[in-house]
Amino acid sequence: MSTAYRPDPLPIDIPDEPAVRLIPLGGLGEIGLNMMLVESGEDIIAVDCGLLFPDDEMPGVDYVIPDFSYLAERRPAFKAVVLTHGHEDHIGALSYLLRDFDVPVYGTPLTLALARSRLAEHNVLERADLRPYQPGDEVHVGCFTIVPIRVTHSVADGIGLAIETPVGTVVHTGDFKLDRNPVDARQPDYAKFAALGERGVLALCSDSTNVGRPGRTGSETEVGAALAGRFAGAPGRILIATFASHIHRIQQVLDLAARYGRRVALLGKSMVGNVAVAAELGYLTVPDGLLVSLDELAELPAERQVILSTGSQGETNSAVALIAAGEHKYVQAEPGDLVIFSSRVIPGNERVIGRAI
């Protein structure tokens, strides 16, 4: 573990007049490490607190966390963390932050649930002050008023934020994939963004993976239609790797399995954990009797089996990588299996994914 290289900071002029300062601790021009401070007067809030997963140019590094030293210098001013969504590159460093800072953490219910399981793993859940907020709420923290706004993204329950500061409104979009036809039918709140634009915004902070790709991203429901074609034509077992946080993709796989008379076994700790949490909170509907253990699945004919696994980015030691290498304890790839990587390659992961395939 280390912190990414940062140049020595330049001295900062403290203005006499009310002002707002946006201080990214990471996440600009890189995939991961998302954390931005919003500071005004004697108040600081942090938007997100994410990890960066190392690429193959950082051998021996497990992951990178933001450098919290600016917050340590201004400890009394640091008032809260506000989360936009539950991806690791936005919540993954919370367990390190909360070891050292006693601040409340705001998030939508699913985002907090995903954060909670990470905090529990790191034994910091006990001391964490997690506070749910919803689109439409108004949260007052120091001189800021924070308004969550619904967006669609590849994890459910994502939001953008309107942050009212003493000198104007800062809009932070969070990550988003604008989807006209989302699986849960909850549209991004275009009207709210438009109203903010009409009223006038001091600064818009907007960034998203693949933002440089021309064209528009297909709807999540189109992915479901493509998967349906695969299910219809598969003669044997289907093994699907996707992100454990992609609740809507998981929902579509479960629905298809049910439609085609298959059963599903989950593989990978985060897949099992996230499915349980999302189902409990009502973000995922699991048809009765659909989920079975690997043992039970193996009893069924191949054409009734689906294995839903983590490891879509080729992560070493993920279930899919182990199966590909013939080293998984319980699952061996067999002729006739259909293996689907249901995910876009995160830039930088091309080589490890290629290896797994």
Which residues contribute to the site for Zn ion (CB under 5 A)?
Answer: 87, 175
**CB 175 to Zn ion: min, Å:** 3
Token pair 């395939």 in the structure block, residue:
357
Calculate the dihedral angle through the C-alpha atoms of 346, 347, 352, 356, rounding to the nearest 10 degrees: 40
Closer residue to Zn ion (CB): 83 or 324:
83
Closer residue to Zn ion, CB minimum distance, 53 or 231: 53
Nearest approach in angstroms of CB 105 to Zn ion is: 17
- Between 87 and 237, name the residue whose CB sits nearer to Zn ion: 87
**Torsion (CA) 205, 210, 211, 217 in degrees, nearest 10:** -120
- Token pair in block for residue 354: 């290629």
Q: Is 9 exposed, middle or buried (0-12, 13-18, 19+ CB in 10 A)?
A: exposed
Instruction: With CA atoms as reference, report the closest residue to 312 among 322, 323, 321, 303.
Output: 321
Min dist. Cβ of residue 249 to Zn ion (A): 14
The least distance separating Zn ion from the CB of residue 64, rounded to whole angstroms, comes to: 17
Question: Please, what is the minimum distance in Å from the beta carbon of residue 4 to Zn ion?
Answer: 19
Residue 236's alpha-carbon distances to 113, 302, 307, 339, in angstroms, are: 35, 5, 12, 10
Query: Which residues, 6 or more positions from 257, have their beta carbon under 8 angstroms from its beta carbon?
Result: 231, 263, 264, 290, 306
Q: Which is nearer to Zn ion, 87 or 150 (CB)?
A: 87
Query: What residue number has its CB nearest to Zn ion?
Result: 175
Nearer to Zn ion by Cβ, of 87 and 246: the residue is 87
Q: How far is Cα 12 from Cα 19, in angstroms, rounded to an integer?
A: 13
Structure tokens belonging to residue 117: 């399981």
Shortest Å distance, C-beta 94 to Zn ion: 15
Q: What are the C-alpha distances in Å from 301 to residues 324, 331, 334? A: 21, 15, 13
Angle at alpha carbon of residue 64, lines to 61 and 66, rounded to 5°: 160
72 contacts 33 by C-beta, under 8 angstroms: no
Nearer to Zn ion, 168 or 348 (CB): 348
Nearest-approach distance from CB 89 to Zn ion, in angstroms: 6
Beta carbon nearer to Zn ion, 175 or 315: 175
Residue in this structure with the two tokens 């998981």, named with its chain if needed: 250
φ/ψ of residue 203, rounded to 5: -150, 140
How many beta carbons lie within 10 A of that of residue 189, not counting itself? 18
Query: Amino acid identity of 228?
Result: A
Cβ nearer to Zn ion, comparing 142 with 158: 158
Q: Which is nearer to Zn ion, 84 or 252 (CB)?
A: 84
Q: How far is the CB of 34 from Zn ion (least distance, A)?
A: 8
Least distance between Zn ion and beta carbon 85 (Å): 6
Using the structure block, give the residue that is written with the tokens 């140019």: 57
